[in-house]
């Protein structure tokens, strides 16, 4: 923690706040995309994409899960998606899963999460859509396959949000599925044929 605190204290000296870039940030934000990913500390959207401050709007939670639209109770995820679309007008949303995901690993293994009731309740949102591959498989499914299917599933949930559906229907929104490999840095992109591929830069 001391190293983090020291870097925070020296941040103003390390960054050129006299430049026009940071002064413009104070005037408002105009991100290009909403980036929905896991809260895993090894997944850093700005590092992966090379985004500068103000370029991506981030939504992070365990398992990069999008709760169903209209679910009872307040939802930070629903509020963030709504704000990104209705106020910021983002034209792209990325749902990014990743390798070595603890949330997907827990679902895959059927871990007893009774000691973590909040985590268990949250992961219940993703479990039903993963059931076909988890319950019907003759062999134990691979964790990457579960994580990638979860990305596909969360994109489907996003399409059920009225604000997203309106923009998709009018061509004002594009959805992207990514799978990030923590140990290699490779980004696999979901293609129109439903397969994840690594594309050359």
Of 178, 153, 167, the C-alpha closest to 88 is: 167
Of 196, 190, 176, 178, the C-alpha closest to 92 is: 176
Residues of the chain where predicted confidence (pLDDT) is lower than 50: none
Give the whole-angstrom CA distance, residue 189 versus residue 19: 35
49-66 pLDDT, tens digit each: 999 999 999 999 999 999
HEC string of 26-56 equals CCCCCCCEEEEEECCCCCCHHHHHCCCCCCE
Let me know how long the chain is.
Answer: 201
Element (H, E) at 20: helix 20-25
Distance of CA 50 to the CA centre of its chain: 16
The torsion angle over the Cα atoms of residues 64, 68, 73 and 79, rounded to 10 degrees, is: 60
HEC string of 87-104 equals CCCCCEEEEEEECCCHHH
Q: Which residues contact 168 (CB under 8 A, 6 or more apart)?
A: 159, 175
Give the whole-angstrom CA distance, residue 130 versus residue 132: 6
Report pLDDT for 138. 57
The span from the first CA to the last CA of the chain, in angstroms, equals 36
Q: 124: helix, coil or strand?
A: coil
Report pLDDT for 106. 96
Report pLDDT for 137. 59
125-153 pLDDT, tens digit each: 999 999 988 886 557 789 999 999 999 99
Contact 93, 175 (CB under 8 A): yes
Decide: residue 168, CB within 10 A, 0-12 exposed, 13-18 middle, 19+ buried: middle
């Amino acid at each position: 923690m001391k190293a983090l605190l020291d870097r925070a204290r020296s941040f103003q000296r390390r960054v050129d706040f006299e430049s026009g870039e940071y002064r413009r940030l104070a005037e408002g934000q105009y991100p290009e995309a909403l980036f929905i990913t896991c809260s895993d500390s090894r997944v850093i959207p700005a590092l992966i994409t090379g985004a500068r401050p103000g370029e991506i709007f981030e939504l992070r939670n365990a398992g990069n899960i999008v709760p169903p639209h209209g679910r009872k109770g307040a939802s930070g995820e629903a509020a963030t998606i709504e704000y990104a679309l209705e106020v910021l007008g983002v034209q792209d949303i990325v749902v990014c899963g990743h390798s070595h995901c603890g949330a997907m690993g827990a679902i895959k293994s059927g871990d007893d999460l009774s000691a973590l009731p909040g985590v268990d309740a949250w992961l219940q949102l993703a479990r039903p859509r993963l059931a076909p591959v988890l319950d019907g498989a003759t062999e134990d499914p691979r964790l990457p396959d579960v994580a990638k299917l979860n990305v596909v599933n969360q994109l489907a949930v996003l399409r059920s949000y009225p604000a997203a559906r309106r923009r998709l229907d009018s061509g004002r929104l594009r959805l992207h599925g990514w799978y990030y490999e923590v140990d290699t840095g490779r980004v696999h992109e979901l293609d129109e044929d439903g397969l994840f591929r690594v594309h050359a830069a």
